[in-house]
A and B are shown apart, each in its own frame.
Chain A
Amino acid sequence: GQNIDQPTEMTATEGAIVQINCTYQTSGFNGLFWYQQHAGEAPTFLSYNVLDGLEEKGRFSSFLSRSKGYSYLLLKELQMKDSASYLCAVSDSNYQLIWGAGTKLIIKP
């Protein structure tokens, strides 16, 4: 079966760095997405990785290792507004997105 695993909840301090991990087992791989979803709002796109390595975009970076079926989202200089759920999704062999359950990130002052 297809499976995406990510931690249910994480807590971090304002100004710090946090890494949210995602491991996957899917039938085929056509890229991995990270989305951010604030409570009561729509998910919004953060990043896309299809090749191994690190993609940096401002305070957010995303890493992919296809051989390990592993990705992480790195958030630096955390701000209170970063409190949200972070969703990992993999595009499978049919280009359909398989979603993880999301990681709720709580930022404390």
Chain B
Amino acid sequence: ETGVTQTPRHLVMGMTNKKSLKCEQHLGHNAMYWYKQSAKKPLELMFVYNFKEQTENNSVPSRFSPECPNSSHLFLHLHTLQPEDSALYLCASSQDGERTYNEQFFGPGTRLTVL
């Protein structure tokens, strides 16, 4: 595997379910990100981890819970979601989270539908 991978690619869940999204980067980067992408809206930054430490939490509801066990893996745990949480969830990584030139590499995303 190369680049940034995400699983699953598609997920349908009920509002009472608990599920997890997984992201893995094979680039040797130290920063990882979760974004939410809704139709015709800007990418919304959810969480940032830099050297495994959470450095950003953009007022995300507690029904989204991130986990970063090491610099290569990032999870997003989901529970009691709402239909408006249906979106494409993108994971990204960069060399680190603090430099000016901070090109981010994205995974293909998980298309989430909440029924």
Residues of A within 8 A of B (CB): 4, 8, 30-31, 33, 40-45, 48, 50, 87, 89, 91, 95-102
The size of the chain B interface, using a CB distance under 8 A, is 22
Min CB distance B80 to A, Å, is 27
CB-CB < 8 A to B103: which residues of A?
Answer: 33, 45, 48
Q: Say yes or no: A91-B102 contact (C-beta < 8 A), given A41-B108, A42-B90.
A: yes
**0/1 string, B18-57, CB within 8 A of A gives 1:** 0000000000000000000000111101001000000010
Decide if B109 is an interface residue (CB 8 Å cutoff). yes
Which A residue sits closest to B31, measured CB to CB? A95
Among B4, B41, B100, the one with the most A-chain Cβ atoms within 10 Å of its Cβ is: B100
- CA–CA, A98 to B107, complex, Å? 18
Chief secondary structure at chain A's binding surface: loop
CB-CB < 8 A to A89: which residues of B?
Answer: 43
**0/1 string, B73-115, CB within 8 A of A gives 1:** 0000000000000000010000001111111111111000000
Which A residue sits closest to B88, measured CB to CB? A40
- CA–CA, A77 to B40, complex, Å? 27
Q: Say yes or no: A48-B101 contact (C-beta < 8 A), given A42-B109, A96-B56.
A: yes
- CA–CA, A20 to B101, complex, Å? 22
- CA–CA, A97 to B97, complex, Å? 10
CB-CB < 8 A to A95: which residues of B?
Answer: 97-100, 102
Taking a contact as CB atoms under 8 Å apart, the answer to whether B90 and A43 are in contact is yes
CB-CB < 8 A to B48: which residues of A?
Answer: 96
Min CB distance A93 to B, Å, is 11
Among A8, A30, A95, A101, the one with the most B-chain Cβ atoms within 10 Å of its Cβ is: A95
* Known contacts A50-B101, A101-B41; 5 further A-B pairs (Cβ under 8 A): A30-B100, A31-B100, A48-B103, A91-B100, A97-B104
Q: Which 8 A-B pairs have the closest CB atoms?
A: A42-B106, A99-B43, A99-B42, A30-B100, A101-B42, A43-B106, A42-B108, A45-B103
CB-CB < 8 A to A44: which residues of B?
Answer: 106
CB-CB < 8 A to A42: which residues of B?
Answer: 4, 90, 106-109
